[in-house]
Chains A and B, each alone.
Chain A
Amino acid sequence: MTTPAPADLERGSGASWMELWDRAPCGLVVLNEDGTIVAANSTLTDMLDIAGADLPGRSVEAMLTIPARIFYQTHFFPLVKLHGHAEEIFLTLRTRSGSGVPVLANAVWRDRDGGGQIHCAFMRIREREKYEEELLRTKKAAELASASKSRFLSMMSHDLRTPLGAISGYADLLALGVRGEVTEEQQADLARIKRASKSLLGMLDDLLTVAREQSAQLPMRLEVLSVRTELIEAESIVTPRFIEAGVGYRRDESAPDLTVRADRDRLQRILLNLLTNAVKFTPRGGRVSVGCSAVADRVLIHVTDTGRGIPAEMLGRIFQPFVQVDADDATNQKGMGLGLAIGRELARAMGGDLAVESAVGRGSIFTISLPAAAAP
């Protein structure tokens, strides 16, 4: 037994206590407030390849690598001194030959006459360290990839808008007869060009929104909004599509008008996304209804359709960008699968959420939840 054991262990007395201290399956060290080593167990001195008698009296820094010394002085010691304990601190111990031993350290502060002591346990990490490093590395790579993807999306959608503007502008000019007389058939074609470029523009806007939401957060203007007013606003835009598609629309008028705290543009975007989705995926003769309710401090807006519904295995994925329920349907002309992804991001950014319930053949209910607000 070369290392003196701390007094409180000796009090327990007996060889078994001493053995527990000395051969515990972790390195143990007792430090004075100024970092002087009072005692270290054999597990620790073995780990460091140092003779047991060599440690007491020296500074804790002798058993740390240089960066670990800085971390000890700037983080570890202040933390233990001010909060009384520190857990799961990653440090690198230094062996006699100078190589590093990665450990996790737990420490507690103990008041002693004329100062205090730090009792510290070191758990060697070998395999785990590799995983952690890998995890951190992959996470960084993923963040970088995601950021560059967002930048790419934003650049691309921006660049595509310019030629698109030209296409639609010149179609307008032709339709106005500026370049000469236009036949009825040509007018019909020009109208198709206009419609197609408009729909393309809508998709680009969606792309741009996703890219922006993911890269820099757009400034948010939260205000108190009447749900009814916002629904009426959204309806005015989508009603023609409902008529065209032969799908019925009804807003539940019986509920009292509720108010939410939200950003008007974002809320409009979510509502429009949900309503256009509903009309897209509901067959002629179907119905879409919108209702609203208050639950605790939340307001829920439900958009219910009688469409074909979403298979259970798709439910978890439909909020991911570029995922479509019928993606393998080659005739699918219904967009890029960004609407719901955008909708959920926007709702969450406002402290709310967007969720779905659905059953194949019975239709879907999309629910926006938002923080309730007292009426203005």
Chain B
Amino acid sequence: MISTEQKVLRRNNVKVFGRGTQPMVFAHGFGCDQHMWRFITPAFENAYRIVLFDYVGSGGSDLGAYDAGRYGSLNGYADDLLEVCHALDLRDTILVAHSVSAMVAVLAARREPERFARLVLIGPSPRYINDVPDYVGGFERTDIDELLATMERNYIGWAKYLAPQIMKNSERPELAEELTESFCSTDPEIASRFARATFLADNRADLRDVSVPSLILQCSEDLIAPNAVGEYVHRNMPRSTLRLMKATGHCPHMSHPDETIRLIEDYLHDDAGAR
């Protein structure tokens, strides 16, 4: 008999390691999976208990557990995150979240603040689409539609798009593995739904309800989450600290792991600033 906890750990492909006791959970962004953290986690292994996972529909998660209704909005992803925390009975957790996961983290911290000690939000954006005249997210609705078309075009060559049965073939998991290895994402329908949930979301109103102290890591020249957006998050989220990075782009934990590690360490050691 498999317990509910074990089911969640398997469903979300949860990996736990490290020599510390305080949990440090890493939540990946849209388009990728837990592997994206591999340049960061070695720096924290000694002092923390590292928890990695994939959202259902991404990476090595159980695609059979995918529910289009649940994952149609970011709340479904927050359910995943909280269920992983429940399954491991995590308390006093440091949650490191990239991109869309930053808003997933906001939703989770809003619902169960007692589980989290600190949030580290890398490239957060509460809303990607401009809302004139007061809010500049960086994108127009038509940009997002074109993104969805680009995604669709990139999935067309996938065997699984042309033969979706392959993915449902539980007797040959190596097929599914091969395909996810070949691309940093999963099933095209799922990816497209995740993209919609991400880029059409508006979580601006949720920011003010976050009571957990947070660090916002804002890249220079991040076109997905521009400076103005990072500043907006900082202004509207109580107990937040904003650090502007030298790193450019949207994935500093992959392109500039050293700076990312240093800023996270500084923040975690600087108790006075956060409490």
Contacts and interface: CB of A to CB of B under 8 A. Distances in A.
Contact of A34 (B31, B144, B185, B248): B248
B224 A70 contact: yes
A75 B31 CA distance: 5
Contacts of B149: 67
Contacts of A73: 223-224, 249-251
Given A81-B255, A82-B36, A74 B221 contact: no
B223 A83 contact: no
B150 A67 contact: yes
B183 A71 contact: no
Contacts of B154: 71, 75, 89-90
Interface string B104-122: 0000000000000000000
Interface string B245-275: 0011111001110000000000000000000
A77 B251 contact: yes
Nearest to A92: B150
A71 B147 contact: yes
A35 interface: yes
A69 B248 CA distance: 13
Contacts of A36: 248
A91 B147 CA distance: 10
A68 to B, nearest CB: 6
Contacts of B221: 59
A74 B150 contact: no
Contacts of A88: 157
Interface string A34-47: 11100000000000
A57 to B, nearest CB: 12
A132 B250 CA distance: 30
A65 interface: yes
Contacts of B45: none
A324 B225 CA distance: 60
A90 to B, nearest CB: 4
Given A70-B147, A74-B30, A75-B31, A59 B248 contact: yes
Contacts of A35: 248-249, 255
B153 interface: yes
Nearest to B31: A74
Contacts of A79: 183-184
A373 to B, nearest CB: 13
A77 B150 contact: no
A59 B219 CA distance: 14
A351 interface: yes
A132 B251 contact: no
Nearest to B246: A34
Contacts of A132: 153, 156
Given A67-B143, A68-B150, A132-B156, A75 B185 contact: yes
Nearest to B225: A73
A136 B171 CA distance: 29
A9 interface: no
Contacts of B214: none
A325 B13 CA distance: 51
A61 interface: yes
Contacts of A66: 139, 143, 146, 223
Contacts of B181: 83
Interface of B: 29-32, 35-36, 38, 99, 139, 143-144, 146-147, 149-154, 156-157, 171, 181-185, 199, 221, 223-224, 247-251, 254-256
Closest 9 CB pairs of A and B: A74-B31, A67-B146, A67-B147, A73-B250, A90-B153, A66-B143, A75-B31, A79-B184, A78-B32
Given A67-B147, A136-B153, 10 more contacts: A33-B256, A66-B139, A67-B144, A71-B151, A73-B224, A74-B99, A81-B254, A83-B184, A88-B157, A135-B156
